[in-house]
Amino acid sequence: MRVLHFFKTYWPDTFGGVERTIHAIAKGTAIYGVESDVLSLSKKPSEHSVEFDGHMAHKARLDFEFASTGFSREVFGRFRELSSRADIVHYHFPWPVMDIVHLAAHTDKPTVVTYHSDIVKQKVLLQFYKPLMSRFLKSVDRIVATSPNYLASSDVLKRFESKTTVISLGLDEADYPRADEATRARWRNRFPDRFLLFVGVLRYYKGVHILLEAARRNGLSVVVVGSGPMEAELKQSAEQGVHNVHFVGALPDPDKIALLELCEALVFPSPLRSEAFGLSLVEAAMFGKPMISCEIGTGTSFVNLNNETGFVVPPNDIDALSDAMKRIWQDREKTIAMGAAARDRYLSHFTAEKMCLAYYGLYRELAGELPIQSERV
């Protein structure tokens, strides 16, 4: 079976949440004999097709970008070429150009869309895009929501509930080898006392500005891992008397892993639905760390269960976030218990193995093959 994944970006251009998910699916379904191609755009005209971790990453030239949407003339031909060789086309939403390519290609292959997020920021442009979006989602065979919470809270997904299934995102623990003692010692020397951790790209919807204010009030030490468009503004704000928040920038995996091992808990204060799932929460759960997140009606509250694996607080509520941080800090016994529960929840819901097995089953269904449990040896 051959599957074509289609999204606007893919490694090595960037490696965000959607890109990590595509990579995990391509890598994880390979053990079932699924061959994967990934088509995305690239600013580098020299790139065409490269092998990456057992699957092929194909590039079409990016012509220009508008409203965070990449446009390409070349991608139409590349999609027709690659989809003709595929058994199933797997789209990753949202990307309006993808909708146009799909509708223009008139592909007769089975199609599935992983619906990663509603369009939240571009509210004005969304009104113009809605007819195209609706036509695209009506035309595909199946839609996948990444959490039951998102399916229940998305007005768009509710309209297509009859053909929507839930497959949670998952991470492969083998991709997160424990940090060596030298790396751990280096970070222990830099932050010898206890600290809370934030991990993520510093974008507008991550809520780090709220975290800064909460840390200003409670005085607790916070380490911020990540870079992004809000970095300079956030650092400038922290310089105004928030000396207990430490920005360490984007880090290689061994360093990020060391900080995950050493921290007390992960603080993830995203207050907007743009935060559709929160793979950083899954990383924390994998390492047995309690979490603090906000109730925004998305997958964040599916990963993190209030008072069980951590605390869930109202969005944009500085006092509630500060209080949750203090509760983590002051009650070590409960912190350890919630961390253990988070680890158990990772194992039961968010492993890459579970995600990939579910996608393999869906691929077989779309291809008209027998369900996995009905196979005969």
pLDDT tens for the chain, 377 residues long, are 999 999 998 865 556 788 989 999 999 999 999 999 999 998 876 667 888 888 999 999 999 888 778 889 999 999 999 999 999 999 999 999 999 999 999 999 999 999 999 887 766 677 888 899 999 999 999 999 999 999 999 999 999 999 999 999 999 999 999 999 999 999 999 999 999 999 999 999 999 999 999 999 999 999 999 999 999 999 999 998 899 999 999 999 999 999 999 999 999 999 999 899 999 999 999 999 999 999 999 999 999 999 999 999 999 999 999 999 999 999 999 999 999 999 999 999 999 999 999 999 999 999 987 666 544 33
In the block, tokens 């158990």 appear at: 344
**Which is it for strands 245-249 and 222-225: parallel, antiparallel or unpaired?**
parallel
Q: Given 3-state DSSP classes, what are the helix, strand and coil percentages for the chain, each rounded to the nearest 5? A: 45, 20, 35
User: Same fold for the domain at 2-171+352-374 and the one at 173-349?
Assistant: yes
The string of DSSP codes covering 348-363 is HH-BHHHHHHHHHHHH
Enter the tokens of residue 77: 């031909």
CATH architecture for residues 173-349: 3-Layer(aba) Sandwich (3.40)
Parse the chain into domains and list their residue ranges.
Answer: 2-171+352-374, 173-349
Taking the C-alpha atoms of residue 278 and residue 281, their distance in angstroms, rounded to an integer, is: 6
| Fold for the domain defined by 2-171+352-374 | Rossmann fold (3.40.50)
pTM of the model: 0.91
